[in-house]
Chain A
């Protein structure tokens, strides 16, 4: 704690001065319990709800007609479904990264952004998980992906990265949910104790499961939370690694490369932090949370964005270099086709979005300006989507045999499904903001000055429990 405070010297604080245990509790719980629902919420929820209905419409039509309504074809069998799957999964990486890795690294500034970043993770993974199932062609047989005793005596093919992906994504979704829910329990108890209406008392009371803040409970709670963080850390890295295996285990030019796992993981963190910035900047403004999500948070996230952006940029450069250096004609053609072929405008927009734009973050003036950061976050999110488009489509549409080359164009149903998942994601997020505390209240209590005096000083023999906060 004292170390972190020292490091913060000079820069903006992680929490504005003047807050107490009570003020932190009341301010965050009032958003859920007593404050009037702002116009922003009603409008935002309305729009995202409409888009969710677009998603339901698109899915219904898909179920009636089959994947022929999409632009997928031979040779591009993967199309939007896989592009969007990888994009959403990538976005879903920031939440657990912030919660787990930054917790283990004792970055206390994570405290005010971890809760909604975790929620964002869950909703992004939910959107992602839709796509492979819809893409199955016969989605009602999706349960065949799981190993279960069946009369056909069949098993999943364990050597297939697509099966690994099923396990990786479902484990990630489950563990992210557990991590998020465990973090919520003490705050649900706070809401139960603050709620005035009977219905809310029962609702939060049931979710809080009778949490009463006993010292012994806290001790086990912190042990469990720390262990979960330790388990989630390699998990975050593994999930996008396994997603990259979907590509890199195949022998398609442009996919079969060892740079993919690290480059995908960095890209996921990059996309995830862009989305956290994209959400945090308007939220802190609308709900007046500038005291808790300070410029310090935005600046730190901007730095992570820059660092991961550079790793991703390195991936792009190495891809091109290896295509030349390997002297493999198919790899060479793949990169030439990306740069000069029919999808060249998308490739160069990707370079502009992901490689060039984030360089602005070197400037302190840009890092200190929320509107500029918001703009960069939008550009990076678009860039990451374009990256997945380039990877999926340009490699598939022209591979080894020129006689089987083709083109891929998305249809209106592709777009409707994609935009629909954005609606679903935002609708879930709006519901979360309305009904659950979007900032971890109990962890914020540990950041106020009065706690700094004695409460959180780690006792030597308790170094394990000293991580929280």
Chain B
């Protein structure tokens, strides 16, 4: 931020506002067909088919959760086995030290705990949250993205981005309004 040179603010992208989710999905699809690649949409609730229209292909999150679960499982079993057989063996009525059936409840609980924590932190981390500042918040009507409006943003770093042409393109998609978002 501090290194930003004085002068007119740089443009982050163009933000088009739509009133209905189906218009947004159609617009996103058309923009992608037109060759735009640096796209994002902002909506008040998840809209199915939108991530497809924007060209997102899956997420690695389930893998992160799987790793978390396995890690929790290994931690719990390892801890119980180590303490019961090596670090503090306790002979209770001649029963086996590695009495694994009684290790199951804690193993299950820690598997779920680790997997859940990985799911939440993984989701936040991949989404780059917490992120206190983001350029789109500069758009005057952006607060409606958490109420009843649907926004499509074509970012300036897109190779096809060109202020006048892109603005015209977005207006042609039936946007209610197109605004320039400052960095």
Which residues of A are in contact with B by a Cβ distance under 8 Å? 20-22, 25-26, 147, 153-155, 157-159, 161, 163-164, 167-168, 171, 174-175, 178-179, 181-182, 186, 189-190, 192-194, 205, 209-224, 227-228, 231-232, 234-235, 238, 242, 245, 442-443, 445-446, 450-451, 453-459, 461-462, 465-466, 468-469
Contacts and interface: CB of A to CB of B under 8 A. Distances in A.
B132 A210 contact: yes
B87 interface: yes
B83 interface: yes
Among B49, B79, B131, chain A packs the most CB atoms within 10 A around the CB of B49
A153 B22 contact: no
Contacts of A154: 88
Interface in B2-59: 20-22, 25, 28, 40-52, 54, 56, 59
Contacts of A211: 129
Interface stretch (B105-113, B158-166, B169-177): B105-113
Contact of B147 (A182, A193, A228, A234): A193
A328 B20 CA distance: 70
Contact of B146 (A181, A186, A456, A465): A186
Interface string B56-96: 10010110010001000000000110011001101010000
Contact of A456 (B48, B92, B129): B48
B116 A231 contact: yes
A224 B120 contact: yes
A210 B134 contact: yes
17 contacts: A159-B99, A161-B105, A164-B109, A167-B106, A181-B120, A194-B147, A210-B133, A216-B51, A218-B43, A218-B50, A223-B59, A223-B123, A232-B112, A238-B108, A445-B45, A455-B47, A465-B51
Contacts of B140: none
A293 to B, nearest CB: 19
Given A163-B106, A242-B109, 10 more contacts: A161-B105, A164-B109, A171-B113, A193-B143, A215-B42, A219-B59, A222-B46, A235-B112, A238-B112, A454-B21
Contacts of B41: 214-215
Contacts of B142: 212
Interface residues of B, number: 68
B45 A209 contact: no
Given A163-B106, A186-B146, A211-B129, A458 B48 contact: yes
A193 B141 CA distance: 10
B168 to A, nearest CB: 23
A422 B95 CA distance: 43
Interface string B122-139: 111011011111101100
A167 B45 contact: no
Consensus secondary structure, chain A interface: helix
Name the 10 nearest CB pairs between A and B, nearest first: A209-B130, A21-B148, A224-B123, A210-B131, A193-B143, A454-B22, A455-B21, A164-B105, A218-B46, A215-B41
B148 A25 contact: yes
A213 B46 CA distance: 8
Contacts of B105: 161, 164, 167-168, 238, 242, 245
Contact of B116 (A26, A178, A222): A178
Contacts of A26: 147
Nearest to A155: B83
Contact of A231 (B44, B92, B115): B115
B48 A457 contact: yes
Contacts of B110: 167, 171
Contacts of A171: 109-110, 112-113
Nearest to A26: B147
Contact of B145 (A213, A221, A457): A213
Given A223-B61, A461-B52, A468-B46, A212 B106 contact: no
A189 B43 CA distance: 12
A454 B48 CA distance: 9
A209 B129 contact: yes
A456 B47 contact: yes
A248 to B, nearest CB: 13
Given A445-B44, A455-B48, A459-B48, A227 B79 contact: no
A21 B88 contact: no
B156 interface: no
A167 B75 CA distance: 13
